[in-house]
Amino acid sequence: MQATEIRMTGALGSDSLAPWIEHRARKLNLQGWLEQTSSRAARIVVSGEPSMIEAMAVSCSLGPADVLVQDISTHALTLDRAVQGFVTR
């Protein structure tokens, strides 16, 4: 299954980040997960319509009001199996 990885860095330590990302992913009908690897880095894997994935990347570049996103990158990847829903790991 085709998917996109979105990597974010910056001041991401706010408790609002995970719920904010989950909400947007669900609104955009994206499947996948969020892994916040530290207070300065997060990895998001999403699958869905390409235009909705692009909208998610733009949303993530802005982040919630109490987060400062300094860098964002995306790249395509292939998942071994389909993903249902969106969760924080």
Q: Please provide the DSSP assignment of 16-67 as one string.
A: THHHHHHHHHHHTT-EEEEEEEETTEEEEEEES-HHHHHHHHHHHHH--TT-
Question: Which amino acid, 6?
Answer: I
pLDDT at 82 over 90: no
State pLDDT tens for residues 3-41.
999 999 999 988 999 999 999 999 999 999 999 999 999
Domain total in the chain? 1
CATH of the domain at 40: 3.30.70.100
Domain range for 74 is: 2-88
Share of the chain above pLDDT 90, in %: 88
The SS3 assignment for 72 reads: strand
Q: pTM of the full predicted structure?
A: 0.92
The dihedral through the CA atoms of 3, 44, 27, 71 has a sign that is: negative
pLDDT at 1 over 80: no
